[in-house]
Amino acid sequence: MLLYDTVISARDAVRAKDISAVELTRAALARIEEQDQLLGAFNSKDSARALIQAKAVDDGERTGPLAGVPIAIKDNICTSWGTTTCSSKMLENFRAPYDATVVRALEDAGAVIVGKTNLDEFAMGSSTENSAFKITRNPWDQKRVPGGSSGGSAAAVAASRCCGALGSDTGGSIRQPASFCGLVGMKPTYGRVSRYGLVAFASSLDQIGPMAWTVGDCAQVLNVISGHDRKDSTSVRDAAPDYIANLEKPIDRLRIGVVKEFQAIAGVDPQVKSAIDAAIKKYQSLGAEIVEVSLPHTDYGIAAYYIIAPCEASSNLARYDGVHFGHRTSEQVNDIVELFSKSRAEGFGPEVQRRIMIGTYALSSGYYDAYYNRALQIRTLIRRDFDEAFRQCDVILSPTSPTPAFKAGEKTADPLQMYLVDVFTVTCNIAGIPGISVPCGFTSGANPLPIGMQLLGPVFSEEKLLRVARMFEATTDFHKRRPVMDIQASVE
């Protein structure tokens, strides 16, 4: 483990000169070099650049609220150095000509970016098994998945390869891997964090957010990356609040909603239910009122998501044709149509192809109204459900995932079972509201696995969500536990 493995502890240690930024960066890079071949969290790293940036911190040339802190970036976020692959053969050699806004914000704050992390190809998946390059393993049990699609970012933090990481969340891709890896993961309100430089999957759903060990860490990173960006037309103009200022101040007369329809969802692991019930009791002991609320269109969430997201993916990924962007086949072709067909067949993996076909079908003549337009109508109803629920409560509490981390290969043969893993998370993206996953327990047995609790709030309620999450974290110690890794033994 890194000597200082949280964002705030690392930042404070560098400030106090208890450790130099170079020493901290070298320690992170050494852990990546020594063990990541088996863990599979990183797609790439730039050690020389990271050490130059760290030295600039030690020399006083780079300052800021994250000065000297090792941070990892999901490999669908553009950087002007190295490659941005989206874990796809289609973009295996792509070098972005610019930095994403969030990358510039992190570096302006003094962060040291140590590498770019593995993901499900083009962020399409819930297990990081769909990467074209490798499978990422869960540091708590290397036979299990770290979640997805931001599994590489989650595994990198959980294995102490860095102190924090950025992920992207289209239907739970920050919160679910945070749950599986025992981390805090925040999906901000749509438009709160710039998407400029994020390779698009589903543009009306995608959002960048932080993953780290503590609520305070996520608040600190969110402070840095939030705010208006004129380069992103969906970025809101309202100034972001200071998420740290009142973090330790509990919320009086807190009302927590428990969703009636969530209680009827099948397949929730008994140990997950037990941990959530215990979390509810903890909040009651802190003075919170528990209120039953209803989200009547919950049952349509997965269906609506898996029409809207593939439709937008079909449109967004049309640009990768082997001519304008992306992998080009080396086979002999007879015409431009065959060039497109072969290039895309070779460049895209099975899950991406599946979603492109679903989306193209749903957008085709004669089916648009029956599928895509109806899904948009359901989206409106889901948003209204949340608006009504938040009139009765401040936040909604639920499991992040119906199960703890599952074994690698367990769900790959049945895409529908994989999609159902996101049953508690997708409606958050559909409605555009913020959500956070916080560790709330562990399974029993010889190899305990983390269990995550999800908190959802109204649009732009990140400050409140962080404070509610911190109320729980401050009175529990789940966030203090770390995996004991014996990678070689566990994968043999």
What is the arithmetic mean of pLDDT over 445-466?
A: 97
- Judge whether residue 385 has pLDDT over 80: yes
pLDDT one-digit tens code per residue, 55-106: 999 999 999 999 999 999 999 999 999 999 999 999 999 999 999 999 999 9
Please say if the pLDDT value at position 490 is more than 50: no
Q: Give residue-wise pLDDT tens across range 386-436.
A: 999 999 999 999 999 999 999 999 999 888 899 999 999 999 999 999 999
Task: Please state whether beta strands 255-259 and 289-293 pair in parallel, antiparallel, or not at all (unpaired).
Answer: parallel
User: What stretches of 108-237 adopt beta strand conformation (E)?
Assistant: 112-117, 164-168, 184-187, 208-212
| Burial category of 143 from C-beta neighbours within 10 Å (exposed 0-12, middle 13-18, buried 19 and up) | middle
Class of domain 7-250+467-491: alpha beta
Q: How many CA atoms lie within 13 A of 319 on its CB side?
A: 8
**Is the per-residue pLDDT at 44 higher than 60?**
yes
Q: What is the pLDDT of residue 486?
A: 60
Which has more pLDDT, 417 or 309? 309
- What does the chain come to in residues? 492
- How many Cβ atoms from other residues are within 10 Å of residue 248's Cβ? 12
| Domains of the chain by residue range | 7-250+467-491
Of all residues in the chain, the percent with pLDDT exceeding 70 is: 98
Helix/strand/coil percent split, the chain, to 5: 40, 15, 45
pLDDT averaged over every residue in the chain: 96
What is the reported pLDDT for 491? 38
C-alpha closest to that of 87 among 127, 117, 113, 45: 117
Stretch 313-331: mean pLDDT, rounded?
95
Pairing, β 208-212 against β 184-187: antiparallel
Give tens-digit pLDDT for 431-451.
Answer: 999 999 999 999 998 899 999
Over residues 125-183, the pLDDT tens digits come to 999 999 999 999 999 999 999 999 999 999 999 999 999 999 999 999 999 999 999 99
What pLDDT score does 277 carry? 98
Rounded CA-CA distance 170/178 in Å is: 14
What is the pLDDT averaged over residues 319-333? 94
pLDDT value at position 445? 86
For residue 223, the Cα-to-chain-centroid distance in whole angstroms is 17
pLDDT tens for each residue of 25-34? 999 999 999 8
Mean of the pLDDT values across residues 35-64? 96
pLDDT confidence band for 489 (50 / 70 / 90): very low
**351-372 pLDDT tens trace:** 999 999 999 999 998 999 999 9
Higher pLDDT: 305 or 324? It is: 305
The string of DSSP codes covering 85-132 is: -TT-GGGTT---SS--HHHHHHHHTT-EEEEEE--SGGG--SSS---S
Q: Point out the residues that are catalytic.
A: 74, 149, 173
CB 312 within 8 A of CB 358: no
Q: How far apart are CA 98 and CA 84, in angstroms?
A: 11
Using DSSP's 3-state secondary structure scheme, residue 298 falls into helix
Cα separation of 65 and 71, whole Å? 13
**Confidence at residue 269, expressed as pLDDT on a 0 to 100 scale:** 97
DSSP 3-state of 418: helix
The pLDDT score that the predictor gives to residue 52 is 98
What average pLDDT does this structure show over 460-486?
A: 95
Q: Which residues on neighbouring strands pair with residue 453, listed in sequence order? A: 399, 438
Burial, 168: exposed, middle or buried (Cβ in 10 Å; 0-12, 13-18, 19+)? Answer: buried
The per-residue pLDDT for 492 is: 37
User: Per residue in 191-248, pLDDT tens?
Assistant: 999 999 999 999 999 999 999 999 999 999 999 999 999 999 999 999 999 999 999 9
* Residue type, position 239, single letter: A
- Quote the pLDDT of residue 488: 45
The pair of structure tokens assigned to 350 is 């099975």
